[in-house]
Structure 1
Amino acid sequence: MGLLSLAIWTPIFFGAVLLALGRDEHARAVRWLALLGAIISLLVTLPLYSGFDNATAAMQFVEKAPWIARFNVHYHLGLDGISFWFVPLTAFITVIVVIAGWEAITTRVNQYMGAFLILSGLMIGVFSALDGLLFYVFFEATLIPMYLIIGIWGGPNKIYAAFKFFLYTLLGSLLLLIALIYLYVHSGGSFDIQTWHDLPLARNAQTLLFFGFFAAFAVKVPMWPVHTWLPDVHVEAPTGGSAVLAAIMLKLGAYGFLRFSMPIAPDAAHEWAWLMVALSLIAVVYVGLVAMVQQDMKKLVAYSSVAHMGFVTLGFFIFNDLGVSGGLVQMIAHGFVSGAMFLCIGVLYDRVHSREIAAYGGVVNTMPKFAAFALLFAMANCGLPATAGFVGEWMVILGAVKANFWLGLLAATALIFGAAYTLWMYKRVYLGPVGNDHVKELEDINAREFLMLALLAIAVLAMGIYPKPFTDVMDVSVAELLKHVAVSKLN
């Protein structure tokens, strides 16, 4: 068993053990076992960084074994600079989510923790899969634990939100499956994704494949106008569910564009880039304006996620190194920042049981330590220099200006909207005199919550101050991808 298999199956193993052994009367032991499993799963991913060679665009840590021999399907794993950082990011966020749910979840604790650990392994599988069918299995399997997390531990309308999440993402994925089967037949019976990258495909076939991929990945990102499921799901999901959804699951769709849409259908990707850029800019500008009028904190951050992911898809489809690298950096940074924003909302919700902005006011007076963390994450969400939120957005804006000045200018306006809605929310919730008796009785964060927020704060600042380790890993792979996409595959 190689390092990638360990990264995938270690959290799944611990999750299965929790489901089999845990009971609510042993909740304390269950929580510690879940934390142990999450930490071990994170430690397993660390040797990947020390063993990764930045100088090559080839797949590394490759594992390949027959799976369904009759149809030439393989258990085929590997990482390159594009997919690398999402493996440790997923494991890190899982540790944070286990800590976050320590006291908030009191029923079916083993199932809650087990679902997150299994989900972690499945998401790492998506980023590691080099076989088309294996990718599809992992991609669809992630829906099951998240569906259960929303449907069991969610808010009053949790069943509606869980069904909406499941149906939206499943319907898009059916077109992905048809595209994968077409490629399997056209390649002479191979599910190898890298083989598909070199297929000579006619323009019509490329266009159909591009929109087949688009149906699955755009819903997952989610791009405008198929983003409407996200705010409902975020509002109803438990805090940990919202954090993982924003930090990792949205990235599965964006990753799909880089692994499938652009390299397999490069001519269609260039032909329809105007549409992708237009939809991205609508997400960045229009959805940013929608975020401004939200009264529910979770809805505001959910719309903020749609706007920030618009930067990612914009960066990818301007086809230059700054744009694609910036999009990838933005995906990682958004994982830290949006996860932190949702966890901060969870800290307040656990105490007051309201997500309405109007239910707060002057929180800084009773929770000064917490308000300091919340300010840092709010500034990162605005794209303040020296925070993770700045690096990716700045690279994408530079890449957009390189492609077209007016495109860059329009994208840059989003930073103004981002600052407006984030700081306005911070002002109304945290600043000023104490708003009501609920706020007056609040107690500052405990040691567990401090640890959870401190880990995220360190990640946000470290990435903002010194992003070189992140960009160094991806540079060669991004250059190779752009070189590949620049060459026509028309037969």
Structure 2
Amino acid sequence: MLAQYSIFILFGPWLLYSLDSSYVRGYTLLYPWLGARIVWFLPSEQIRRTRIVALIFSRITFCTSLCLWASFDYSHTEPFQKVLSIQIGPGSYEPAGGGRSWKGIRSSSLEFGLDGLSLWMVLRTTALFPICILCSWLRPYGSVGSSGVPALRAGTPIRVVCTLLLILEGMLLAVWTILDIVFFYVLYESVRIPMFLRIGLAGSRTRKIRAAYQLVLYTLFGSLCLLPCLLLMYAETGTSSLELIYAYNWTFERQRILWWGFFFAFAVKIPMIPLHLWLPEAHVEASTAGSVLLAGVLLKLGSYGFLRFLLPLFPEATIFYGPRVYTRSLIARIYASRTTRRQVDLKKIIAYSSVAHMNLVTLSLFSNNELGRSAACFLMLSHGVVSPALFLCVGMLYDRHHTKLLKYLGGSAATMPLFTIFFFFFTLANMALPLSPSFIAEFLALCGVFAYHSWATVYALISVIRAAIYSLWAYARVAHGRPKNVYIKYVCDRCRREFWCIFPLLWITIWWGFFPSEVLYSLSGSMLLLQHLCL
């Protein structure tokens, strides 16, 4: 069956780029599902072919997303550039009167679209999944070869792992581009199914089942708040099209009711305190690929929901409840920064650091100005590169030490110099050192927060200082001191597979640190539209 698709696999991106850009956009959504189908039906004993096919499809999806980026029109005046439109039934749009109130609307097609924000979400998602598949080149304990093609751990079904990764990629690409609130809800909630299986099947400890169930139960609480709000919106507007719902004029009382449902659904995914307890446990129990996906993609679903739905649909309620969100975000950032210093597990340190960074994103989003929202988007993107790179470094340590506890680590600067360079570089980026994308994003975010409330900026700056303290403390415990494992000197520094996992993230971090203007310019159009909708 692989031979039937070989020509399409090898020459598909070039052929699509020579066609109309809408074909490229449509096949970007299709490739992961096609790859999942092929991988699932491969024989279980063909482990090498399974790995290679999954990696090929993930890389082709990334290539088609680059075609999307190349064909994206920054001068486009409409809110979204259409990716794909699927006819699902007859219908018509009938405005009641001449205002923004709509009545008797019936959606006739399912649409996918791109703006500056969703474009970068698609690019980052397609860039991370080949890395996650390379991380799933699993090895047995104690064997670290220089070839980069180690054997599987016993009991790990590589065919299932690769299929789940490709299905999850297809779902996430649809989430970033869907322009229908009902189907967004279906995809938004379906994402947790492959992630639940990913943690439960490929976790590293016996507590992995508990962590997987915590992820499901916490996010299920958010979905129970969101579903009644979506049904109420559909009953009142008669449509599920996002562009038409943007045009609907909601009363202030109705905004206040709907706002809480959307807020809780997306706050769980950020996560905001006290809805954060599932995240550190999920990170600790997940495999390296699972942690990369959690930090790089899944945590951004909440802030993306705020930007796409909460802020433009309910602007008056957002202003009304903004001070409460501000207070919660400040408390969460300070709490997460203090809690990080007390952790003994390296993955939990990075997990609580992610909570602190994502609550700065929330703080910047609710600053009610264009600068703050653009900075929040850029901080989402930079965190989605730096934090996965740190989890990759932790995975490299775990493969050699078989532990993530700091008291058993140390001395890597003498035994693993190249790894130490990578880890030090991303530690500096995580603590927002100048010339890193995190520094630019956090500086712009604090400027946006200062325009809204000056004292909030002071408390946020305290957390920035704490971030530098716990980042350097964790690095010193890992890199310096005497090696606790006497056999660590017999293992290699890094293999080729690990190098090519982390090098693209290093290159992106340097690129965004020195040339952030291209990303910020592409986001400016979406933020101007959002500012217009929020007025």
TM-score (norm 1): 0.96
Q: Does 1:38 align with 2:87?
A: no
**Could you tell me which of 24, 34, 38 is aligned with 1:17?**
38
Map of 1:76 onto structure 2: 111
Question: Is the Cα–Cα contact under 8 Å of residues 372 and 449 in structure 2 kept in the other structure?
Answer: yes
Map of 1:387 onto structure 2: 436
Q: Distance in 2 between the 1:159 and 1:353 partners?
A: 20
Q: How far apart are 1:22 and its partner, in Å? A: 4.2
| Higher mean C-alpha displacement, 13-22 vs 331-340 | 13-22
Question: Is the Cα–Cα contact under 8 Å of residues 401 and 485 in structure 2 kept in the other structure?
Answer: no
Q: Distance in 2 between the 1:176 and 1:17 partners?
A: 35
**Could you tell me which of 124, 146, 149 is aligned with 1:89?**
124
Matched residue of 2:85: which SS? strand
Q: Distance in 1 between the 2:162 and 2:436 partners?
A: 30
Q: Distance in 2 between the 1:34 and 1:438 partners?
A: 34
Deviations 1:417-454 (A, max 9, x none): 11111110110011133333143334200111111111
Map of 1:163 onto structure 2: 213
Deviations 1:9-36 (A, max 9, x none): 211210222122141x211111111110
Q: How far apart are 1:280 and its partner, in Å? A: 1.3
Map of 1:443 onto structure 2: 492
After superposition, the Cα gap between the structure-2 partners of 1:73 and 1:374, relative to the gap in structure 1 and judged at 3 Å, is farther
Q: Distance in 2 between the 1:93 and 1:15 partners?
A: 17
Matched residue of 1:211: which SS? helix
Question: Is the Cα–Cα contact under 8 Å of residues 372 and 447 in structure 2 kept in the other structure?
Answer: yes
| Higher mean C-alpha displacement, 437-446 vs 454-463 | 437-446
Aligned length: 484
Question: Is the Cα–Cα contact under 8 Å of residues 247 and 334 in structure 1 kept in the other structure?
Answer: yes
Q: Distance in 2 between the 1:319 and 1:442 partners?
A: 52
Q: Distance in 1 between the 2:465 and 2:373 partners?
A: 22
User: Gaps (5+ residues) in structure 1?
Assistant: 487-491
Q: How far apart are 1:290 and its partner, in Å? A: 0.3
Matched residue of 1:85: which SS? helix
Map of 1:375 onto structure 2: 424
Question: Is the Cα–Cα contact under 8 Å of residues 63 and 77 in structure 1 kept in the other structure?
Answer: yes
Question: Is the Cα–Cα contact under 8 Å of residues 329 and 471 in structure 1 kept in the other structure?
Answer: yes
Matched residue of 1:222: which SS? coil
Q: How far apart are 1:203 and its partner, in Å? A: 1.7
| Higher mean C-alpha displacement, 434-443 vs 394-403 | 434-443
| Higher mean C-alpha displacement, 356-365 vs 71-80 | 71-80
Matches within 5 A, 1:46-125: 46-56=66-76, 58-67=79-88, 72=107, 74-104=109-139, 105-106=152-153, 107-125=156-174
Q: Distance in 2 between the 1:219 and 1:109 partners?
A: 30
Deviations 1:304-348 (A, max 9, x none): 110000111111100111110010001111110111111110111
Q: Distance in 2 between the 1:150 and 1:4 partners?
A: 30
Map of 1:489 onto structure 2: none
Map of 1:8 onto structure 2: 29
State the one-letter code of the partner of 2:343.
Q
**Could you tell me which of 347, 366, 376 is aligned with 2:415?**
366
Matches within 5 A, 1:19-418: 19-23=40-44, 25-56=45-76, 58-67=79-88, 72=107, 74-104=109-139, 105-106=152-153, 107-154=156-203, 155-187=205-237, 189-418=238-467
Q: Distance in 2 between the 1:229 and 1:376 partners?
A: 28
Report the aligned-residue RMSD.
1.5
Larger radius of gyration: 2
Identity over the aligned pairs, expressed in percent? 36
